[in-house]
Structure 1
């Protein structure tokens, strides 16, 4: 009996530790919009912010290469192709769209639009994976769409490129998971998925002259600017994913996804406190509907389906 009690106590402790880790990761992800806004104000475009985030993060995680090398050399060409699509669409594409959206509509609305990803996941899963669409999923999708409509109202959120880019970011983010499910037929280690997602996109960016021009521009700026870049790549990318991976060792993926709701809440709160970006009450209602749809999608789908082990290796670049 004592052994059972000890086992339950240990499990409870691990569960609480995993919860703290996932909430901390979500809060870290929520800082992305703040760092990107500061870099926009200094003179970097959304494209340049994407370069600084992904390439700097790639140099940081090169320390993982010796550990992951045995797994990398075993990958088949088809698996490399699947991982490359994940990286270029789900990481590079999402980052470009998201950071441009931040520059157009602000950090709060941009992260809310990013959370329309479950809506796109329904469509892509239907056509790419032949998965059925339930009435419950349709209702949640309509709730999110209605919320997007409300965020477009008001003086600061007219229908413009920012709205379209925010929706595109959500679409790219949803494709990250769908393409991964289609491409990977067995469980890849979570560090391998993270490593290839960043490294492949960084490799493509290093082929572009704009990447070197961006870092040349950075060299002429004050040390504080380097702090923003480090925050973007380390605090907003590498650290939260590391915490998320550790949390998945202690929590089911579906439960972990519920706590990522702290990401948009953090982004909106920081935008109000640090950037003084306020929304109208009807826009806050729209944001709330989008976040509620994402939360219900995680909770209800978590109780209805058993998530495959490899799908737990979810990543936020």
Structure 2
């Protein structure tokens, strides 16, 4: 039997986790072929995922680890779950209605550099030369990939720009979520924090769907939609979260963050195979620039982004 502490074992866990997370955009695009709206699709995804997160919450509560939460902390947790958890998810899913899966993943992967920028603005952290290089390189890469998709879209380029803006907003909101979550995770523990925020995000999803969707309609969808939502919950949400945490335990957050940078590349390849999206040297160059920027941030001696955060993108 192989030693489970072997570094290749941890690297494989992180690699599989990153590719599985990357499949989310592909399944969303496939589901949109059935003329769904973002609120309905997210509600289905969260309905399938909530039993897993509820089970995680039950398990963490049984560990008997004490919590040191104030009333203000509970309000912050609720806002994080609704705005940072569900809000960023809805912006991301809605943006995917207008942009390619590859472009969505590249823009979303900007969030590590966005956290660095927000840390400088709100927490007065100094931005190093390496971090400036990372931000400039990453944003230049996104400009290239957006330009590539706008050129392909032709007359529909306004929709592409609108979708890209929604995904960018999603990345900004998620970066804020990560920045604030650092204050609560030490008080709750990572597993309990994840279980609570995701459960509250699922509740927010149900409320939004209840006010905008049709319960009669959701019970009459094609079987393929339910299958995609279940796979999205299992393969692109729950399973990769578990694998990523196991990988972090084996490798540490810094190495795991570097390996998880394969995410945008995996999405582009999967989109080419399953959605027929195009591949070009411009797109490849832009993606390479974004990856270089993220890796530059991850290689800091004291990285501000953990691999757990990377995994949730």
1:212 to partner: Cα distance = 8.3
Distance of 2:189 and 2:162 partners within structure 1: 37
1:287 to partner: Cα distance = 2.0
1:178 to partner: Cα distance = 0.8
Distance 1:217 1:103, change over 3 A: same
Instruction: Give the secondary-structure state (helix, strand or coil) at the position aligned to 2:96.
Output: helix
Distance of 2:277 and 2:235 partners within structure 1: 22
1:269 to partner: Cα distance = 0.7
Structure 2 runs not aligned, ≥5 long: none
Cα deviation 1:176-199 (Å, max 9, x = unaligned)? 221112x32735332212101211
Distance 1:189 1:106, change over 3 A: same
- Quick check: 65-74 or 257-266, which moved more? 65-74
Q: What residue is the counterpart of 2:107 in the other structure?
A: 113
- 2:225 paired with 1:229: no
- 2:243 paired with 1:251: no
Q: What are the residue-to-residue correspondences of 1:126-141 with 2, within 5 Å?
A: 126-141=120-135
Cα deviation 1:10-41 (Å, max 9, x = unaligned)? 58x44222211111111110110111011111
Q: What are the residue-to-residue correspondences of 1:180-219 with 2, within 5 Å?
A: 180-181=181-182, 183-184=183-184, 186=186, 188-210=188-210, 213=213, 216-219=216-219
Instruction: Give the secondary-structure state (helix, strand or coil) at the position aligned to 1:228.
Output: helix
Q: What residue is the counterpart of 1:5 in the other structure?
A: none
Q: What residue is the counterpart of 2:302 in the other structure?
A: 305
Q: What residue is the counterpart of 2:174 in the other structure?
A: 173
Q: Choose the corresponding residue for 2:18, options 26, 44, 50.
A: 26
Distance of 1:280 and 1:101 partners within structure 2: 22
Instruction: Give the secondary-structure state (helix, strand or coil) at the position aligned to 2:125.
Output: coil
Q: Is the contact between residue 116 and residue 304 of structure 2 (CA under 8 Å) also seen in structure 1?
A: no
1:127 to partner: Cα distance = 2.2
Distance 1:78 1:39, change over 3 A: same
> How many residues in Structure 1 have an aligned counterpart in Structure 2?
302
- 2:107 paired with 1:88: no
- 2:8 paired with 1:16: yes
- Quick check: 78-87 or 272-281, which moved more? 78-87
Distance of 1:211 and 1:52 partners within structure 2: 15
TM-score (normalised: structure 1): 0.85
Structure 1 runs not aligned, ≥5 long: 1-8
Q: Choose the corresponding residue for 1:78, options 40, 53, 72.
A: 72
1:235 to partner: Cα distance = 0.8
1:175 to partner: Cα distance = 1.7
- 2:152 paired with 1:156: yes
Q: Is the contact between residue 97 and residue 166 of structure 1 (CA under 8 Å) also seen in structure 2?
A: yes
Distance of 1:166 and 1:71 partners within structure 2: 37
Cα deviation 1:81-106 (Å, max 9, x = unaligned)? 33333323332122112222222111
Distance 1:61 1:153, change over 3 A: same
TM-score (normalised: structure 2): 0.86
**Structure 1 residue ranges, 4+ long, deviating more than 4 angstroms after superposition:** 70-74
Distance 1:163 1:307, change over 3 A: closer
Distance 1:307 1:114, change over 3 A: closer
Distance of 1:243 and 1:185 partners within structure 2: 19
Instruction: Give the secondary-structure state (helix, strand or coil) at the position aligned to 1:287.
Output: helix
